Amino acid sequence: MSRPILARIDPQAFRHNYLLSKNLAGKAQALAVVKANAYGHGLLRCAEAVRDVADGFALLELAEAMSLRGAGFTQPIVLLEGFFAHDDLQLAAAHSITSAIHCEEQLRMLELTELEHPLDVFVKLNTGMNRLGFVPEQLATVLNRLRASGKVGQIGVMTHFACADGTGIDAQLARFEAAALPTGLACSVANSAALLRYPHAHHQWVRPGIMLYGGSPMPDLQSAEQIGLRPVMTFASRVIGVQSLQAGEAVGYSATFTADRSMRVGTVACGYADGYPRHAPTGTPILVNGQRTRTLGRVSMDMLACDLTDIDADVGSSVTLWGEGMPADEVATAAGTVSYELFCALAQRVPVVEC
């Protein structure tokens, strides 16, 4: 008999969230960001949920793009980091996979590679994130070289915001638009936070990511529920043991939690080897039998402890680590991280089922 732990994935919730993003996008088209195996939710599972409505997809790995093409998806697919080798470039062009171009090395590789089919591209500009991209002042030169190569089809321009979920986008957007708008090319700048907060930055293509999975890109400003998003992943387990503690007794490794009264402590079949954050402190919220309580002490590799003192629960009681009824954003905030990391960290040993 397997351990009582699993992740339930709701494709219809993903579809709902994507349609919400399209509605917010207005006239813009929406590239569903499905990188990292759809943030740990399953690439093909999520893509299938929006096959008939998706404007396009964005991801990192050429292998993932090829799996979408192999499954019959005909929408635009954008490689957000572009290509890394001549063979990748040829394969992307042959299968109509759009590539970001963000550096001189990629531009030169394109110029030197023989292609049987033109490659659609997005020129990525660095407007202040300082990760990838040409500086905006280079855009005209890059465009001239792309066109002179005779190897590109459609061209777009993109950038990525550093603070769309916080202090804002004004400086980056102004720098981007000064360079890109005069070209008349399609533009893509808005991630989930910008899609929600800055309608004037939608341009031709938006790139919803975390919101598709039911997470808020700015949980301190607006919760997923307030936005109208539904959780796609519910990470669930059960209580497998109960201990009675007296005041002064401790729980778990390093005895980081000490009871200040008589308590009932439940042991849950879930630990950091399953993808639960080890650094989640005492007090991280958890649902047991649908009742809200808290974790206690240090998370172990395979187990964690929770407070059963004031709730009706025992061995066999259901546990929701995050998902339906327990927002992943709230768990992430308590653990000092973001819901993106929770989703992507789901361990391979955890069974995944659709609901």
Residues designated catalytic: 35, 253
pTM: 0.96
CATH of 11-215, one of 3.40.50.720, 3.40.50.2300, 3.20.20.10, 3.30.460.30: 3.20.20.10
User: Identical fold at 11-215 and 233-354?
Assistant: no
233-354 is a CATH 3.40.47.10 domain: no
**SS3 of residue 173 by DSSP:** helix
Q: Where are the domains of the chain?
A: 11-215, 233-354
- The pLDDT tens digits of the residues spanning 45-89 come to 999 999 999 999 999 999 999 999 999 999 999 999 999 999 999
- The pLDDT tens digits of the residues spanning 223-280 come to 999 999 999 999 999 999 999 999 999 999 999 999 999 999 999 999 999 999 999 9
What counts of helices (H) and strands (E) characterise the chain?
12, 18
Q: Which residues fall within 8 angstroms of residue 220, CB to CB, at 6 or more apart?
A: 333
Place of tokens 């992507």: 344
**SS3 of residue 352 by DSSP:** strand
Q: How far apart, in Å, do the first and last CA atoms of the chain sit?
A: 21
Position 188 pLDDT exceeds 90: yes
